């Protein structure tokens, strides 16, 4: 079984400031981890994913996340926020290949990012 906890349902940062969105997971097998983003009036889209290999993964629009097994975390960061980053961000987990893989994602409750001038 898998679960995801996203700390902070709302995060507000100034334009140009560091963005840090927190995600902790629980999984009975080595997981695949994802961040999806939902811009206003748009569908969810994949921002980045970790499956195997390098634990620091880079995604679109300058975002990156680091898989830390010892901390069961997959926090999302961006060095400098832009107004266009305002959106809702969802962390998700699915069993990795040892658990059969698949696209039956378990999502967190989401973090709404607000970027202020």
Contact call for residue 102 and another protein (CB under 8 A)? yes
Helix/strand/coil (H/E/C) assignment for every residue in 11-52? EEEECCCCEEECCEEEECCCEEEEEEEECCCCCCEEEEEECC
**C-alpha radius of gyration, the chain, whole number:** 14
What's the token pair of residue 117?
């001038």
Residue 8 is classified by DSSP as -
Contact call for residue 67 and another protein (CB under 8 A)? no
Q: Which stretch binds another protein (CB under 8 A): 17-25, 46-54, 56-64, 70-78?
A: 46-54
What's the token pair of residue 68?
């830390």
Contact call for residue 70 and another protein (CB under 8 A)? no
Of the pair 35, 85, the CB lying nearest another protein is at: 35
Contact call for residue 34 and another protein (CB under 8 A)? yes
Report, in Å, the least distance between residue 61 CB and another protein: 17
Contact call for residue 27 and another protein (CB under 8 A)? no
Contact call for residue 94 and another protein (CB under 8 A)? yes
């Amino acid at each position: 079984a898998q679960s995801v906890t996203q700390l902070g349902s709302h995060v507000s940062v100034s334009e140009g400031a560091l963005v840090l969105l927190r995600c902790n997971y629980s999984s009975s097998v080595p997981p695949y981890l994802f961040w999806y983003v939902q811009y206003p009036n748009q569908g969810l889209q994949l921002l980045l994913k970790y499956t195997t290999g390098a634990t620091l993964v880079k995604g679109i629009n300058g975002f990156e996340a680091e898989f830390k097994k010892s901390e069961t975390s997959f926090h999302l960061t961006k060095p400098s926020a832009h107004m266009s980053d305002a959106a809702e961000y969802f962390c998700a987990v699915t069993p990795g290949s040892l658990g059969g893989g698949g696209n039956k994602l378990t999502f967190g409750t989401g973090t709404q990012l607000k970027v202020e001038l």
